[in-house]
Amino acid sequence: MRSIRGSSVVEGSSLAVVLSVSLLGTGDSACGSFDSQGGLVVSCSAARTPRQDEALRLPKPLKDCVRLDWSSEHRMTPDLFLSIGLQCLAKMKEDKDLRLRSVEQIQFNKKSAKILVEIDRDHEKYTAEEGVAMNWAGQLEQVLSKLATYVTCVSENDPAEVTAVLKRYAQSTTVDLVTLDTPVTTNSLGLDRKRTLAVIEEELLDAYNKLQPGTKFSDRHWRGVCRPRLGLNAQHQVAVVSWLSGFVCPECRPQDLKDLRYPTRIQDVAALAAASDGAAVGRIKESDGTGSGRDWQRVADAAAEEVRKDADAQGLGTQHIPLGITWQPWKEKCVSNENAGLVLQDRLERGCIMRLYDLLKLYRLSHQVTDSLLRQLKSRLGDAGKYCCVGSYSQLYVILEQRVNIATEETSSKLLLLLAPECMRATTKERAAEVTQQFIKRFKRDAGYDAPRSESQLHASVIPPFMA
C-alpha cells in the first residue's frame, strides 16, 4: 500500500500556524492526531477560509464542508486524485441531475478523517457564462483535467494504468467540445472510445485497483494534514514523540531529527511553491551553506531587513547585537564574535538552522521544548541590552545541536534559540515587556502549548537537568 504525506512551510498572516505547503494523500486508517489538531480546516491551509471563498466570489461551502485550494503549494498524490474522481462519479450515478462543471463544486467534510467528497448541486453558480455545451462526461473530464495538473509524486513504479490516466488528463486541460446530447470523443486525449461516465469510471477504477489493491476508494483517510509533536525521546534526542494511543500516520510515529532540512518527501512541492511565489528573504533555503548559496552573514543581513520592517510596523526601533550573544552554545560558554560566525556557518552547511516559524509549520512542540526555548529567549534578551524585545518571528531561528557522549558513544540533541543580529527595541521597559509578552502568547498558541496538559505528557520522557 502507498501512503504519502508532506508538508512544508511558507509564512502567512493567518492567526494560527498551519501546513501551508502540503502533499495530500490517502491512507488505510485515520491518524489519531487528526481530531487533536482540530480537523482539516484548522490543520492544513489548503483548506480555504470563508474569507478566501468570498474574495473569489464563490458561494458559501456546504454545511460542515470546506474547499481545498489546489495550487503549486498544495498538491495531491495519484491515489488521492483517483479517490476524488471515483467519489464524484459515484455521486453522479446516484443523482442523475447532478452536473459537475467546476473544481470549486467539489468539497470535503472538514470534520472527518475519512476523505468524504460532497458536490454542490447548484452548478449554475460556478459558471459565469454558458460556453460551449457538453454532455456530463465532457464536463467531468474538464474538471478531472484541472485536478490532474495538481498531481505530484508520480513514481516510475506506478502501474501503467495509473500513468496512462494521469498523462491523459494532465496533458489536456480541456476535452473535445460537442453538443449536449452527443457523447464526447476525445482523440486529443489519446482515446478511441466514446467518452461516457461508465467508460471514465472503468478507467479510473482499474487504475485505482492497480495502485491500491484490496482497498475501497470510498474508505481512504487523509494523509498530509498532520503537524506531528516535536519533543525529546528516551535517548534525549529531539524527535517526533509518541503522545497518543492508537494508530498514527507515518509522519506522527516516533522518529529522531538528524537535521532541520525539509523532509525529502515534500522538497519538490516546496520548490514548486518557492518558484511560483518566492520566499521570505530571511528563510533558510536549500542552497544556503553551499558554494552556490548564501553564507550565514548574508542570511543574517536579509533577516535584519525583515526585522526593521516588522519593527517599523509596530512603532519600534531596532539595534544591532553582537553575533556572539545571539545564542548560547549547549554546555559551553558564549563564543567570540569571530568564532560565532564560523560556528553558525558550520551549522548552516549541515542543515541544522531553520527559522522558528518554519519549524512550527512542520511540527507542534511539546511543553518541555516550548519552555526550554522560552527560557533561552528571556536569557538572550537579557544579554541583548536595555529595552530589547521580540515582537516578530523574523527575529528568531533555531539550531539543532548534537552532542556525542564519549564514554557511551550515544548522541543527544537539543534545540537552541538563535536571535537575528538585528533586535527590536522599545523606548521603555514596560513597552518592551508588553511586546515580548504578546509574542510569547502567540508562540505558545502556534506551538500547541495550550493543548490539554495530559496530552503532551503522554509517553513523555523525563528530561534530565542538562537538557533543560
Cα–Cα dist 29/25, whole Å? 12
Mind listing the pLDDT tens digit for each residue in 4-51?
Answer: 333 333 333 333 565 657 788 999 998 887 777 666 755 556 788 888
> Is 61 a residue whose pLDDT tops 60?
yes
Q: Please tell me whether residues 165 and 242 are part of one structural domain.
A: no
Tell me if 1 is assigned to some domain.
Answer: no
* Non-local CB neighbours of 107 within 8 Å, separated by 6+ positions: 61, 62, 65, 66, 67, 117, 118, 119, 120
Structural domain boundaries enclosing 323? 229-467
> Is 402 a residue whose pLDDT tops 50?
yes
87-91, 92-96, 308-312, 370-374: the lowest-pLDDT one: 92-96
Q: Please tell me whether residues 183 and 253 are part of one structural domain.
A: no
Domain ends where: 223, 250, 284?
223
Q: Please tell me whether residues 66 and 180 are part of one structural domain.
A: yes
Q: Please tell me whether residues 447 and 366 are part of one structural domain.
A: yes
Average pLDDT along the chain: 82
Mind listing the pLDDT tens digit for each residue in 121-142?
Answer: 998 888 755 444 567 888 899 9
Q: Please tell me whether residues 314 and 402 are part of one structural domain.
A: yes
Q: Which helix (H) or strand (E) holds 404?
A: strand 396-404
Length of the chain as a residue count = 468
Closest to 79 measured CA to CA, from 165, 140, 174, 18:
165
Task: Give the β-pairing of 106-109 and 65-66.
Answer: antiparallel
Q: Please tell me whether residues 391 and 262 are part of one structural domain.
A: yes
Mind listing the pLDDT tens digit for each residue in 191-237?
Answer: 456 788 999 999 999 999 999 999 999 999 999 888 889 999 999 99
> Is 88 a residue whose pLDDT tops 90?
yes
Q: Please tell me whether residues 235 and 218 are part of one structural domain.
A: no
Q: Please tell me whether residues 293 and 330 are part of one structural domain.
A: yes
Residue type, 449: Y
Q: Please tell me whether residues 131 and 193 are part of one structural domain.
A: yes
Tell me if 169 is assigned to some domain.
Answer: yes
Domain ends where: 179, 207, 223?
223
Q: What is the pLDDT of residue 299?
A: 92
Tell me if 274 is assigned to some domain.
Answer: yes
Domain ends where: 223, 240, 260?
223
Cα–Cα dist 188/200, whole Å? 15
Mind listing the pLDDT tens digit for each residue in 232-274?
Answer: 999 999 999 977 777 888 888 899 999 998 776 677 666 666 6
397 phi and psi angles, rounded to 5 deg: -125, 170
Tell me if 120 is assigned to some domain.
Answer: yes
Q: Please tell me whether residues 126 and 155 are part of one structural domain.
A: yes
Cα–Cα dist 357/9, whole Å? 8
Assign 454 a pLDDT band (cuts: 50, 70, 90): very low
Q: In what order do the strands lie in the sheet with 106-109?
A: 65-66, 106-109, 117-119
Q: What is the pLDDT of residue 284?
A: 82
Closest to 70 measured CA to CA, from 269, 233, 306:
269
How many independent structural domains does the chain possess? Answer: 2
Cα–Cα dist 295/345, whole Å? 6
What pTM value is reported for the model?
A: 0.80
Average pLDDT for residues 300-317, to the nearest whole number? 96
Q: Please tell me whether residues 173 and 272 are part of one structural domain.
A: no
> Is 467 a residue whose pLDDT tops 50?
no
Q: Please tell me whether residues 350 and 457 are part of one structural domain.
A: yes
52-56, 85-89, 131-135, 346-350: the lowest-pLDDT one: 131-135
Tell me if 20 is assigned to some domain.
Answer: yes
Which residues are registered as beta bridge partners of 195? 184
Tell me if 266 is assigned to some domain.
Answer: yes
Tell me if 414 is assigned to some domain.
Answer: yes
Average pLDDT for residues 317-344, to the nearest whole number? 86
DSSP 8-state code for residue 254: -
